[in-house]
Amino acid sequence: MIIFLRWLLAPLLLCAASMAYSANAISLEEGWEYRWGDSPFTQAGEPEWAISSSPDDWQAIGFPSNPPGRDGHTNVWFRVPIPEAHLHEPVLYIFSVDLIVQVFHEGRQIYQYGTFDAQGQGRFEGWPWHIVKLPTERRDNMLYFRVFSDYTDIGLWGEVKLMERSDLQLFILKNSAERIGVSGFTLTIGLLSLVFALFQANRRHFGTLALFSLASGAMILAESQASQLLWDQPLFWVYLRAFSYYLLPVPVALLLELWLAKRRFSLAGWIWRIHLLYAIAAPGLAYVGVFSLASTFPVFDALFLSSMLLMFAAILLRARRISVEQGIMLTTCVLYLSLLLADMAVAHGILSWTRVPVAWGSLAFSTAVVVLSLWSYSRTQRILKKMNSLLERKVAERTHRLKQLADQERQRVQVMSFNNEKSLLLNDVISEMQGCEDFHSAITVLGTRMPKLCSPLHGAAYFRPDESRRFIRMNAWGDAEQDALPDAITDEEEFEAGSHWCFRLTIQHTKYGNMKVGLLFLQTPTEGTPGSTQLYQSIERAVDKAAVTLTSLSLRDELKRFSYEDSLTGLKNRRFFDELFVHETAVALRSRAPLTIIMGDLDYFKRFNDAHGHEAGDTALQAAADALRAHFRDTDIICRFGGEEFVILMPDTDSGHAWQCAQRLLETLRKHVVVYRGKKLGVTTISLGIASWPEQAAHPQELLCLADKALYNAKQSGRDRVAIA
């Protein structure tokens, strides 16, 4: 049922896809090389030919299909360099393969269709189109294809293109639109003919037309590449294609037998019986495994060609006895069968590959059936009156439809004007956000400007201030202000389903990946509001653009943080200290407030590292950093100065208070045992030097040098102590 509904909607979707598709696909028509046989594999499962092989082992070929010198080979390898292309998500599209294939890149298998046994053999599993996802980062641009085929053809078939993955489906739909549309039309004609066969006197005539239309429509549908999108079962579609294709000569011979029955044209009777038997037996025996279904196509092609030549010769001998209606039917049938023969010639390599418009032949025949049926019915006055009545009704419907289209066009113009206005406003907001100093400032700007961006819809904007799941309401406008919306939520599902549109503001975070930082809730417009869909899409695009800008600002904040932070201890680094020391020196001089520096160095740290290893030393440094954070104020700036050295900048603090803090730190470290991987490694003490302005230094810039000398004195005095300059 689902497949049937998809098929009913397919023509509309395909028409839309044909207009929307504008992909720039790159055809791989150069650089192909082949090599007969099968590659040995390493113990790691990598093909040796794809890892290293002499260029002399490979032969150039224009297209990777049917290389010269097959001589009974069933395995062949192809390779081709991937051209440089600026694609976000590159894929390789292959029209078809005879019969199964594996694709390797840099020794790694990236695609397989069909099953290879230990001898590199396999069985036929259909002729689908293939999509090979290519790695975006490549050291080697060479692709390798391992192919097996016991069919008359071997290798890739049709066309090979490099394109964006997002464009591939539209590419398939665009190329299938014609076939799907004609298939739907032809199958409809077949069903109508079948209905007439059940209720009309001339049942055999309508039944034959129904068989031809249904077989033709099913064959075109099965040959369409879009059929793989309707139901991804390639073997089913190839069996349907084979059965319907093998049935086509049956209704042609039946029509010929029907029209020339008085002449005892027994040849047509033999032809349709033979083809009916083949249409049933060949797929049936292939299904139970007697032989491969692929091998039945060349046999049928020869049988089909012979049958058509015999029937056309008989028709030419009796051309004068054929009526006008029969002549039209035969002409369209000849056109259709000629296109089938051309397609057959392409399949056997007689003609170069191209997409033969077989669907047009089916369309011509189906159209002829419709036209001749209408012509026949128009002979009576009753049908003529019904047709006139139908025409008047159609005109009224068309007039009504034109009026609807005019109204829709007016609405479209209004929506376009609205979208243009919002787009200009959004650009201003984005520019303002990009000028912000940091991520949170940009969030504030966005929340403030949301009412104008979302007008005329009422709603509320929530943003996440930290890494928790809690979202805080930043702004609300319109009726949403009186709707008692919560000040904070943890999930968008807290809102009643259907009462609000929910837009998620998601950024790409360097640590958390996709990170939801905001929620926008807008009251759903009343049912039937013009342009609701366009309005939703406009707001969705605005949210996406804002997310891109916020992602950029978040990345900038992260980069800034990384440049000033020591990755091991989480303390600020020397670069940060140097910049801040200049600022704090100026502040101290201006405010005449004291400024103190404590410089510390872990005692015997090199000996600790040599004894326990650098990883244990890192653990000791982290423990010291934690102790420093615990014993100093939030206003004190603690930095890792380098190696095992630390420096603490204490604004508005004299040496006495600094000495007390330093003593408490010493006591803590004397009691703290460093534990690494469950093993107690002992304690690590620290020596500290203190210098304060204006107590010990004539100028704040001298503090660092004085603190360093005090630290040296503490070391010389026995370590694990505090010295004041």
Report residue 649: phi and psi, to 5°: -100, 120
Average pLDDT over residues 278-294: 90
Angle of helix 296-317 relative to helix 249-259, nearest 10 degrees? 20
pLDDT value at residue 145 = 96
Q: How confident is the model at residue 689 (pLDDT cuts 50, 70, 90)?
A: very high
* Better-predicted residue by pLDDT, 562 or 541: 541
Where does the pLDDT of residue 571 fall: very low under 50, low under 70, confident under 90, or very high at 90 and above? confident
d(CA 421, CA 124): 58
Q: Is the pLDDT of residue 34 over 90?
A: yes
Q: Which residue has the higher pLDDT, 639 or 541?
A: 639
pLDDT over threshold 90, residue 152:
no
Nearest to 627 by CA among 666, 588, 656: 666
| Helix intervals (H) in 128-226 | 165-199, 203-223
DSSP code for 560: H
CB 89 within 8 A of CB 167: no
In the CATH hierarchy, which top-level class contains the domain 2-169? mainly beta
Q: In what order do the strands lie in the sheet with 686-693?
A: 637-642, 645-651, 595-602, 686-693, 722-724
What pLDDT is recorded for position 560? Answer: 66
pLDDT at residue 531, rounded to an integer: 62
In terms of average pLDDT, the best of 98-112, 456-470, 557-571, 668-682 is: 98-112
Half-sphere CA count of 392, side-chain side, radius 13 A: 5
In tens, the pLDDT along 530-548 reads 667 777 777 888 888 887 7
Return d(Cα 162, Cα 41) in angstroms, integer.
28
pLDDT band at 390 (very low <50, low <70, confident <90, very high): confident
Residue 22 has a pLDDT of: 42
The alpha carbons of the chain give a radius of gyration, in whole angstroms, of 40
Residue 5 pLDDT exceeds 70: no
Q: Nearest CA to 701 among 602, 598, 584, 553?
A: 584
The answer to whether residue 27 scores a pLDDT higher than 50 is yes
Name which of 235, 174, 181 is nearest 8 in CA terms: 181
User: pLDDT tens digits, residue range 580-602?
Assistant: 888 889 888 998 999 999 999 99
Structure token digits, residue 525: 């417009």
The least confident of 25-34, 159-168, 424-433 is 424-433
Please name the amino acid found at residue 629: R
Specify the CATH number of the domain 177-382: 1.20.1070
Interval 190-202 mean pLDDT: 80
Task: Give the tokens for residue 590.
Answer: 């201006």
Pick from 77-91, 263-277, 363-377, 514-528 the range whose average pLDDT is largest: 77-91
How does DSSP classify residue 565?
A: B
- The candidate with the shortest Cα–Cα distance to 596, out of 650, 517, 670, is 650
Look at residue 201 in the predicted model and tell me its pLDDT.
67
Kindly list the domain boundaries of the chain, sorted by start residue: 2-169, 177-382, 414-563, 574-724
User: What is the pTM (predicted TM-score) of this model?
Assistant: 0.49
How many beta carbons lie within 10 A of that of residue 704, not counting itself? 19
CATH topology for the 414-563 domain? Beta-Lactamase (3.30.450)
Same fold, 177-382 and 574-724: no
**pLDDT band at 38, cuts 50/70/90?**
very high
Q: How confident is the model at residue 2 (pLDDT cuts 50, 70, 90)?
A: very low
Say which CATH class 574-724 falls into: alpha beta
Using 50, 70 and 90 to split pLDDT, how confident is the model at 409? Answer: confident
Q: Given this model, what pLDDT does residue 52 score?
A: 77
Q: What is the pLDDT of residues 242-256, one digit of tens each?
A: 999 899 889 888 877
**β-pairing, 686-693 with 722-724?**
parallel
Q: Is the predicted pLDDT of residue 14 greater than 50, yes or no? A: no
**Is the separation of the CB atoms in 641 and 657 below 8 Å?**
no
**pLDDT for the residue 661:** 92
User: How would residue 292 be classed by pLDDT, with cut points 50, 70 and 90?
Assistant: confident
DSSP states along 662-700: HHHHHHHHHHPEEEETTEEEEE--EEEEEEEETTT-SSG
Alpha carbons within 13 angstroms on the beta-carbon side of residue 294 total 21
Q: Using CA atoms, how far apart are residues 361 and 367, in angstroms rounded to an integer? A: 10
Quick check: 628 and 605 in contact, CB under 8 A?
no
Q: Please tell me the predicted confidence (pLDDT) of residue 321.
A: 67
692 compared with 568, residue with greater pLDDT: 692
pLDDT tier at 161, thresholds 50, 70, 90: very high
Q: Any residues with CB less than 8 A from the CB of 577 and at least 6 apart, and which? A: 637, 639, 641, 647, 649
133-162: average pLDDT: 89
* 65 pLDDT higher than 70: yes
Mean pLDDT of 698-719: 90
For helices 532-564 and 574-591, what crossing angle results, to 10°? 80
Q: Rounded to the nearest 5 degrees, what angle is found at the Cα of 638, between the Cα atoms of 637 and 641?
A: 125
What does the pLDDT read at residue 59?
Answer: 93
Mean pLDDT of the chain: 82
The more confidently predicted of residues 56 and 238 is 238
- The span from the first CA to the last CA of the chain, in angstroms, equals 89
Neighbours of 294 (CB within 10 A): 22
Of the listed ranges 203-212, 410-419, 601-610, the least confidently predicted one is 410-419
Alpha helices in 350-438 (DSSP H): 358-377, 381-434
Q: How confident is residue 160, by pLDDT bands cut at 50, 70 and 90?
A: very high
- For 429-446, what is the mean pLDDT? 80
pLDDT band at 565 (very low <50, low <70, confident <90, very high): confident
Q: What distance in Å separates the CA atoms of residue 532 and residue 498, rounded to the nearest whole number?
A: 14
Q: Give 280's pLDDT tier (boundaries 50, 70, 90).
A: very high
**Higher model confidence: residue 9 or residue 524?**
524
Helix residue spans in 63-128 (DSSP H): none
Does pLDDT of 94 surpass 50? yes
Q: Where are the alpha helices (DSSP H) in 632-680?
A: 655-671
**Looking at this protein, which amino acid is placed at residue 161?**
K
Cis peptide before 310 (omega within 30 of 0): no
User: pLDDT value at position 18?
Assistant: 44
Would you tell me how many other CB atoms lie within 10 Å of the CB of residue 543?
19
- HEC sequence for 451-503: HHHHCCCCEEEEECCCCCCCEEEEEEEHHHHHCCCCCEECCHHHCCCCCEEEE
